[in-house]
Structure 1
Amino acid sequence: MSPTLPALTDARLSLEGRVATLTLDRHDVRNALTGTALVDDILAVADWVNACEAVSVLVITGAGSAFCAGGNVKDMAERGGDFEGSVAEVADRYRRGIQRLPLALQGVEVPIIAAVNGPAIGAGFDLANMADLRLASRMARFGETFLNLGIIPGDGGAWFLQRLIGYQRAFELTLTGRVIDAEQARDYGIVLEVTEPEALMDRAQALAGQIAAQPPRATRLTKRLMKRADRMALPDFLDLCATFQGMCHNEPEHLDAVHAMLETMARK
């Protein structure tokens, strides 16, 4: 029986071959995260993925010409929507709104691939950086452009970017608000690969399928290890590895994988 997909408002979700694909579907506002239901949709998918054993990889992409434009600039100009009110009111809206996004995506148990089909600007750039892997169309553009609007990266983008490419490069991109193309993003280590626009989703699905073919429980545990490695002392990390390894050795998928390898070796 196929698992029930969560009901979404401004995005589309599909599941095929253990790969879930989430498509941001508000092309009319370039898939902006504010003024839409996209944050709630992404949060719902994050919760669903963690609870659904049929999913091994999550791919996130955008419909239309943009991946994600971040905040709605028209709302900013009118001091409306998420940007209305006093300092305390705006701060509370951030905490209850877009700041739930990095916390949720950081807690997703399966690998996340961002297939960046077009501009990823401001919080849209940050959304891409919350993924584990990024593939980009040649039409993609990336910019940590908050200072250009007189605001800071309020969704945690400065935390993700410097861990991805180092403090100095992240500082330069954030403080200048410079927009870079897909090739530069690959050179900086933001993007793993650059494809032609028509090949992006095929490549994303192929990579996702390669990961999804791995034993699913061990895949989730491996991602947990990768996420914790940079904030744990080595002795503590090795203790965690030992526990996770004990779990893996007692999973049926481990013996299935070992027997499959032995059969392959016997045929050679």
Structure 2
Amino acid sequence: MSDAVRYELDETIVTLTLNRPATRNALTEMEVVDALVASLERAQADLAVRAIILTGEGTAFSSGGNIKHMRDDVGTFAGGSAHIRENYRRGIQRIPKAFHELDVPCIAAVNGPAHGAGCDLALMCDIRLAAASAVFAESFAKVGIIPGDGGAWLLPRAIGLSRACEMIFTGTPIDAQCAHEWGLVSRVVPDGELMDAARALARAIASNPPGVLRMSKRLIREGQRMDLPSLLELSAAFQGIAHRTADHREALTATFERRPAHFTGD
């Protein structure tokens, strides 16, 4: 099994660590794509998993595309225009699709620079925490390309159209504090406290019923493309499921008994 992404399970919380510090955790190598997609699918299939933390090994979260490979026309960037199109479709574009199918709540613990596709990777997560040293850039224009991995869809939904256009059109990096002010991240924490903060947040999420977490996330995702009547119909169907779970009954019982609830996923 590839070590390009470390998969660590601690009870109900999975930590995924991009493990290519020599390339500042570049995403465009097929080995990294395969490992990350496989890790997401593994977590999705494990109904005991209630939260995921995604971070990077070393000093960077992710540098996005490997610019040495761009220069040398290898890997994702090999061949003519038609080949490159297929390389994107069969390569890095599988990552946003895998995140779109992921029902487990996911936290990005952005430990350093998140450039290009690395910035978009953070956007694929549901919640983003940033270390004080983190830097975000939609830097595609700086290397003469466009956001090829979904950034043009993800970024405006996170920070609004005007600011997204500013980031994409200029390629200018923003620091963690600006990212917080713009709503790109939920919180900025000191570098040495990032993973503790991410784990505390993951534990708070994981203390809730896993089925409810997954259905709630799916409602949020579907709500981005549904009209309100359609979303209400889906909500009613999910609610019918939730009301007849053992976890719902446990939540009610624990409330009346004034004790912490213990959820099993049943």
TM over 0.5: yes
RMSD: 1.0
Alignment partners' CA distance in 1, 2:177 and 2:251: 38
1:136 is the counterpart of 2:136? no
Whichever residue aligns with residue 187 of structure 1, its letter is E
Alignment partners' CA distance in 2, 1:94 and 1:230: 24
CA deviation string 1:186-214 (max 9, x = no partner): 01100100011110000000000000000
1:62 is the counterpart of 2:56? yes
Which position in structure 2 is the counterpart of 1:87?
81
Gaps of 5+ in 1: 1-6
1:251 is the counterpart of 2:245? yes
**Structural mapping, 1:105-120, within 5 Å:** 105-120=99-114
SS in 1 for 2:6: strand
1:17 is the counterpart of 2:11? yes
Question: What percent identity do the matched residue pairs reach?
Answer: 47
2:146 to 145, 148, 152: 152
Which position in structure 2 is the counterpart of 1:232?
226
Whichever residue aligns with residue 223 of structure 1, its letter is K
State the aligned residue count.
259
The range that moved more, 226-235 or 135-144, is: 226-235
Whichever residue aligns with residue 53 of structure 1, its letter is L
Alignment partners' CA distance in 1, 2:119 and 2:154: 10
1:229 Cα deviation after fit: 1.2
1:39 Cα deviation after fit: 1.2
Which position in structure 1 is the counterpart of 2:91?
97
1:37 Cα deviation after fit: 1.8
1:79 Cα deviation after fit: 1.3
Residue 17 of structure 1 contacts residue 209 of structure 1 at CA under 8 Å; is this kept in 2? Answer: no
Residue 10 of structure 1 contacts residue 36 of structure 1 at CA under 8 Å; is this kept in 2? Answer: no
CA deviation string 1:120-179 (max 9, x = no partner): 000000000000000000111000000011100011111000011111110011000010
1:106 Cα deviation after fit: 1.2
1:35 Cα deviation after fit: 2.9
1:9 Cα deviation after fit: 2.7
Structure 1 moving runs of 4+ over 4 Å: none
1:36 Cα deviation after fit: 5.7
**Structural mapping, 1:164-203, within 5 Å:** 164-203=158-197
